[in-house]
Amino acid sequence: EVQLVESGGGLVKPGGSLRLSCAASGFTFENAWLSWVRQAPGKGPEWVGRTRGKTDGGTTQYAAPVRDRFTISRDDSKATVYLQMNSLQAEDTAVYYCTTDIATWFDYWGQGALVTVSS
């Protein structure tokens, strides 16, 4: 059974940083593509970025609004993907989901981690 468990959410002040983790199980992690998708309160989901699997070079891609502030990394030995978020702004307040990524759709989703940016 595929499981994705996010952690690390919380309250952070504007301009601050936070790192989310997503622990995965139930599939071959090192070749898997994984994405982060966020959902602001009362809004639709928004794709944040992805990390490709080992056989695809482990490269990353980001959505324009976060490209210069967020970094996705992975530790295949721990089957964990990370989202480092810097220079956080109020508009980054959202539930952040880790998902398995099939390039053009997202099939399994974690339960989400709430990030609140507020002074």
Partner 1 sequence: QSALTQPASVSGSHGQSITISCTGTSSDVGGYNYVSWYQQHPGKAPKLMIYEVRYRPSGVSDRFSGSKSGNTASLTISGLQAEDEADYYCSSYTSSNSLHVFGTGTKVTVI
Closest CA to 48 of 33, 67, 30: 67
The single residue among 9, 21, 33, 63 that binds partner 1, judged by CB under 8 A, is: 63
Q: Residue 111, interface with partner 1 (CB under 8 A)?
A: yes
- Residue 109 sits at the vertex; the CA angle it makes with 104 and 112, to the nearest 5 degrees, is 130
Q: Residue 59, interface with partner 1 (CB under 8 A)?
A: no
CB 83 within 8 A of CB 9: no
Residues 69, 50: Cα–Cα separation, whole Å: 14
Q: Residue 3, interface with partner 1 (CB under 8 A)?
A: no
Number of residues that bind partner 1 (CB under 8 A): 20
Contacts for 104 with CB less than 8 Å, ≥ 6 apart: none
Q: Are strands 10-12 and 113-117 parallel, antiparallel or unpaired?
A: parallel
**Closest distance to partner 1 from the beta carbon of 109 (Å):** 4
Options 9-17, 19-27, 51-59, 109-117: segment touching partner 1 (CB under 8 A): 109-117
Which is nearer to partner 1, 41 or 55 (by Cβ)?
Answer: 41
**Closest distance to partner 1 from the beta carbon of 77 (Å):** 26
Q: Which amino acid is at 79?
A: A
> Which residues are at the interface with partner 1 (CB under 8 A)?
43-47, 61, 63-65, 97, 102, 104-112
